[in-house]
Structure 1
Amino acid sequence: MTSYRADTEPVQLTMQVAAKIRGLIVDQALLPGRKIHQVDLSEELGVSRSPLREALRVLEAEGLVSHRANRGYVVVRLGEDDLAQVYQMRGLFEAELLRTIVRPDSRVLAIVEHADARMNEAIGRLDIDDYLRWNREFHFAIFDLSTLRQFKLGVQRLWRVSEVHSSSLLSNLSEAKEEIRVDHRSIIDALTAFDVDRLMAVNDSHRLAGLG
């Protein structure tokens, strides 16, 4: 048991720190193109430099930060062409995942419905952080019906990059809430009926609108 904890706790801490930094990027507390001051950030997050460095390496692999000579880590700034490529790649990966899902049972449908309800509650509070969390839970509960593990890992990385962009598009959730609600209900209906073609079509238009 001691050996297990010694091996896993540093990894868990690294992922927790990475999640916190990712949240700061999504919230635009860390702006694109800006240098990340590790001393200040470690104090703000209440962690030592070691897990912070490991967390930054995780985020570098996700494409959210980059390491530059003589500057250290900076938040990645993506141009319109880069973002278009991210969304195009997401479309290819997500289509393959949805094409290969198995029919959901009542447990999975309940998870999807729960995530959708919590997401709508977040929209009601205009809580972008909670919206992003439950929107992600909603979609990945469906993606998890596919056994294509490498595609899911690819979508997870691309999703995190596009979420930074989505958070700025969704700065006023009240304007987008009806479109989001309608899209999600259509996705749930298609999933329940196991209409994969319809599911793929709605998911595609939802993503291209920057809503998921």
Structure 2
Amino acid sequence: MSASRPGLSSQMTLQAAAQIRGLIIDRVLLPGEKILQVELAEQIGVSRSPLREALRTLEAEDMVTYEANRGYVVARFDDDDLTQIHGMRSLLEGELLRTVVRPTADQLVELERINTNLKVALDAQDVTEIVELNRSFHFLIFQLSPLKMVRREVVRLWQLSEAHSAAWWRGVPEVVSRIVTEHEAIIEALRSYDVDGLVQVCEAHRVGGHGHSRMGMFVS
């Protein structure tokens, strides 16, 4: 019984961190907002201990920060921070894409399924579902690369910028409408195993909204 408790506690911490991360991405918790631990623990249904551990986990990911006399607050990023995050993502995601193995038929079918569901979510303007499906689409492709450490860092950077990206999904409908078509081009590059073409189409997709504003710098 006692041997299972550390594992259970760790699982509860991971679940709590995922729930809080989701609240940040969905902008229920806003940048710079103080985290009220008692209220948050009740909201996500955990005790204070796993909540504190979850906040420490998110602090290590730079999603929250600890301030003297305030406690934990949601991290706030300015334009320079976001530019650096996006620059690192561009470099590291390029490395992942250049090292992908040929996808299986089942993996291609899964990418098509996700993209079909993404179109439905876009039509319904369901931002939470859009963000989740878009993440699943790109992370499935990143899984094709053997570079585990690079992939882990890309996941961290993606999470840092995802709340910013979620706000963008709400604000640039004329660019968002191109996402499904661009994903189809990505799938075709994978189907033909055209790695150079894959890198090019993903880079164009990533910065597709740049001409509209800084908010549109990374659509993926």
Which bracket does the TM-score occupy, shorter chain normalised? over 0.9
Counting only pairs closer than 5 Å after superposition, residues 29-68 of structure 1 correspond to structure 2 as 29-68=28-67
- 1:165-209 per-position Cα deviation (integer Å, ceiling 9, x unaligned): 111111147433421012101111111111111111121122223
Q: Which residue of 2 aligns with 1:74?
A: 73
One-letter code aligned to 1:144 = Q
- Can you give the 5+ residue segments of structure 1 that lack an aligned partner in the other structure? none
Q: How many residues align?
A: 211
Q: Partners of 2:87 and 2:195 in 1: how far apart?
A: 20
CA offset at residue 111 of structure 1?
1.8
One-letter code aligned to 1:91 = S
Q: Is the 8 A contact 1:126 1:174 kept in 2?
A: no
RMSD over aligned CA atoms reads: 1.6
Q: Partners of 1:124 and 1:4 in 2: how far apart?
A: 48
Q: Which residue of 1 aligns with 2:15?
A: 16
CA offset at residue 104 of structure 1?
0.8
Q: Which residue of 2 aligns with 1:107?
A: 106
One-letter code aligned to 1:146 = S
Change (3 A) 1:5 1:206: farther
Taking structure 1 as the reference length, the TM-score comes to 0.94
Q: Which residue of 2 aligns with 1:211?
A: 219
Q: Is the 8 A contact 1:126 1:173 kept in 2?
A: no
SS at match of 1:56: helix
Q: Is the 8 A contact 2:118 2:180 kept in 1?
A: no
- Which stretch of structure 1 is more off in the superposition, 149-158 or 11-20? 11-20
- Which stretch of structure 1 is more off in the superposition, 2-11 or 39-48? 2-11
Q: Is the 8 A contact 1:112 1:138 kept in 2?
A: yes
Q: Partners of 2:3 and 2:185 in 1: how far apart?
A: 44
Q: Is the 8 A contact 1:65 1:75 kept in 2?
A: yes
Q: Is the 8 A contact 2:85 2:157 kept in 1?
A: yes
One-letter code aligned to 2:35 = I
CA offset at residue 61 of structure 1?
1.7
One-letter code aligned to 2:57 = V
Q: Which residue of 1 aligns with 2:214?
A: none
- Can you give the 5+ residue segments of structure 2 that lack an aligned partner in the other structure? 210-217
- Which stretch of structure 1 is more off in the superposition, 27-36 or 167-176? 167-176
Identity within the alignment, %: 47
SS at match of 1:73: strand
- 1:8-41 per-position Cα deviation (integer Å, ceiling 9, x unaligned): 2222211211111111111211111111111111
CA offset at residue 45 of structure 1?
1.4
One-letter code aligned to 1:81 = D
Q: Which residue of 2 aligns with 1:194?
A: 193
One-letter code aligned to 2:109 = A
Taking structure 2 as the reference length, the TM-score comes to 0.90
One-letter code aligned to 2:59 = E
